[in-house]
Amino acid sequence: MRAPITVAALTVCLSSLIPHAALADDTLGGNTQNPPGEQHADTGEDGSVSVTVGGIVFDRSKNGSGKSAGAVTSATAWTPPACWYAPKYTPEQLEKYLKPIWEAGSTGYEWDATQRDRYVNGKPYKDFNKDKSGDGYWWDSYVNEDFPPGWDACDEETFWVDKGAAPPANIQNAVTPEILAELAYAEIRVPGTEVTLAPANRTKVNLPTWAWLDAAEFKPVSVTASVPVLGIEATATAEPVSLKIDPGTADAATYPASGACAIVDGHIGEPYAKGKATRTPPCGVKYLRSSGDGSYPLRATVTWKIHWTGSGGAGGDLPDGTFGATQDVVVQEIQSVNR
């Protein structure tokens, strides 16, 4: 296990004292243009951009886009991994990274001596495993840069894994296709959920208000995560399954009564058109009381079913995700004329 780091030391030299909690890929293979700790992006021939971060390459070219796009939230208590282990260094890179830290002496003689024993003096590794260059990698932990609960749980010392071998069995969250899928889940972005209403700007008490979303925007989105040096990948795909309408007041009725509008033939709700005034909207709301001088905060939330496929035929379902937005709806009394 790693030696504890004091708050004072962390504040003074965070970057040099925590070589194991890097937030970005270190680019294996000796590419000096992208040194350890830097996030970088590569543009493919088709114009798609792959972003390398946390030891993993994320292809977001099939993700949702636009100013109102956002991340889905798990509909259960499940959350993607807050930290994980993946290849980080070649033998030469680990030597280049650790030696200046030891020489600076800022981490203390005892810690430095323990590190030298571990990586240089054969307890258990010798000379950074340079005799195995090209035959494996030093693995280390990465953390979600938002530092959610559990981000500091991956506290194992940097360890060696031969090419083609599995990480030690006691290592939790060592990167696998399933872990990649869970991390890809966290990178999914879906379109905004502001619904189109008819009447558009103001509605009336007891008047059915139609609600729908642009079907062209609500199609499956996906993110692929991979670790090229290991030859593994996984794709997490999100598909919209329903729209939930919350009128923002108890003085309202929804269509359908549950407020959950199913997706039919790729459509969420149905656009209003002339001739439909006497019909009940398949998705919408009817307000029973005026909003007075204010408005009601109607919230529309789309549920996305998420599944994944990965290397070796792996795959399965991940928890449903939701994403919603709130919009103001003005509701007026129907005016009558007394003669």
| Residue scoring higher pLDDT (21 or 280) | 280
Give 128's DSSP letter. G
- What percent of the chain clears pLDDT 70, i.e. is strictly above it? 82
Average model confidence (pLDDT) for the chain? 84
Joined tokens for residue 67: 């100013």
Longest Cα–Cα distance of the chain, Å, equals 102
- Cα(334)–Cα(288) distance, rounded to whole angstroms? 11
Query: Do 160 and 139 contact (CB within 8 A), yes or no?
Result: yes
Angle of CA points 66, 79, 139, to nearest 5°:
100
The residue with tokens 């005799």 is 131
* 27-39 residue pLDDT tens: 564 443 343 433 4
Q: Is 220 helix (H, G, I), strand (E, B) or coil?
A: coil
pLDDT at 141 over 50: yes
Q: How far is CA 99 from the centre of its chain?
A: 35
Pairing, β 221-227 against β 49-53 = unpaired
CA atoms within 13 A on the CB side of 128: 14
The end-to-end CA distance of the chain, in Å, is 87
* 195-248 residue pLDDT tens: 999 998 799 999 999 999 877 777 899 999 999 999 999 999 999 988 999 999
What's the pTM value of the predicted model, to 2 decimals?
A: 0.81
